[in-house]
Amino acid sequence: MAVYERNYKGYQGELTPHWARFLVLPRTTFRLVFASKMFLIFFIASLLVPLVMASWVYLSHNMGIVEKAFNIQLDGFAQVNADVFLAFMGVQIMPMGFVLVLIVAPSLVSADLANNALPLYLARPFNRTDYILGKMSVLIILLSAVTWIPHGLVFLLQSYFSGWQWFVDNIRIGIAIFIFSWVWILTSSLVALALSALLRTKRVIRLSLFAVYIIFSGFGMFLYGALKLPYGLNLSLVITQQRVAEGLFGTQAEIPDMSAFSAWVSLIVFCAISVYILFRKIRAYEEVK
């Protein structure tokens, strides 16, 4: 029907599969997110880290260029190993990835709650799980674009320069990049979405995210350092994520008192609490007690 006919008409066309409908949400959200100049600047800036890492890899295999250019000897200076990958991943995640979460996540759920939009979503063949998946996939896609995808490419670049044997010997690094990125993306996304569902204003949500990441870590360090409570560290999302990364990359633990196992448990607890909050708050209508 053309618009000029202006009458009510039915729809007999094909329908999209149920499982794919949650992907409608990230597509719509990206249009809004990329309209923000601040986001765009940080997004491009966060891609600089893997670019620097790629340059590092390139130079480490082409030392002659630097030595010739600057007339210096750099034997063994730019080795590429698990420590280097972990260091670059660390910078990529904190602060770059964290800033992206701070910019994008606060309005993802809170705006819908503030504008009473949930009944519109949930009155359709679209349930709470679809909604949460849709909102999470906004963060998953964005953060994947700045974590495991570029760092995975850098890993492949390094393998290309060092040969097949290096790839086989260091496959653990590649796996660690992939798994740790997903662990970080999932925990960060869930915590951020839970805060977005729990609180209403962007500023408060950003402060709360900051508190969960930074102040909790400080408090955890205080419990660990001053009161000698080793489990205090488990309150810190940053430290537990770091410990999980060290376990996956097989590098030396900076805080030996925390086992990788207890770090995994802490992250699971953080995720479980976030999922619980999300399912409590994501409802078409809130029951007034």
Partner 1 sequence: MMAAPAAKFNQIPSDGKAMSAVIELDKLGVSLAGRPILSDLSVSISGRSIGLLGPNGAGKTTLLHTLLGFHKASAGTARVFGKDIGTEAKALREMTGYMPENESFIAGISAVKFVRLMAELSGIPPWGALERAHEALYYVGLGEARYRNLETYSLGMKQRVKLAQAIVHAPKLIILDEPTNGLDPPARLRMIKLIREIRESGKVHLILSSHLLRDVEECCDEVLVLKQGRIAAYCNLEEEHKSNKRFIELEAHGGSDKMAEALGDRGIEWASSGKDRIKLILPETLRIHDLFRIADERGIQIRRLDHKRDSLQDIFMKAMEGESVGGL
In the complex, the residues that contact partner 1 under the rule CB under 8 A are: 1, 3-4, 6-11, 13-16, 18, 21, 24, 28, 31-32, 107, 111-112, 114-117, 119-127, 283-285, 287-289
Q: How far is the CB of 285 from partner 1 (least distance, A)?
A: 6
Q: Which is nearer to partner 1, 8 or 164 (CB)?
A: 8
When the beta carbons of 227 and 288 are compared against partner 1, the nearer one is 288
CB nearer partner 1, residue 11 or residue 70:
11
Q: How many CB atoms lie within 10 A of CB 95?
A: 14
CB of 29 to partner 1, least distance (A): 10
Q: Which is nearer to partner 1, 32 or 215 (CB)?
A: 32
How far apart are CB 287 and partner 1 at their closest, in Å? 5
Nearer to partner 1, 57 or 278 (CB): 278
3-state helix, strand, coil in the chain (%, to 5): 75, 0, 25
- Which residues 6+ apart lie within 8 Å of 109 measured at CB? 135, 193, 196, 197, 278, 281, 282
CB atoms closer than 10 angstroms to residue 255? 15
User: Within 13 Å of residue 51, how many CA atoms lie on the same side as its CB?
Assistant: 6
Cβ of residue 212: shortest distance to partner 1, in angstroms?
25
Tell me the DSSP string of 34-87.
TT-HHHHHHHHHHTHHHHHHHHHHHHHT-HHHHHHHHT---TTTT--SHHHHHH
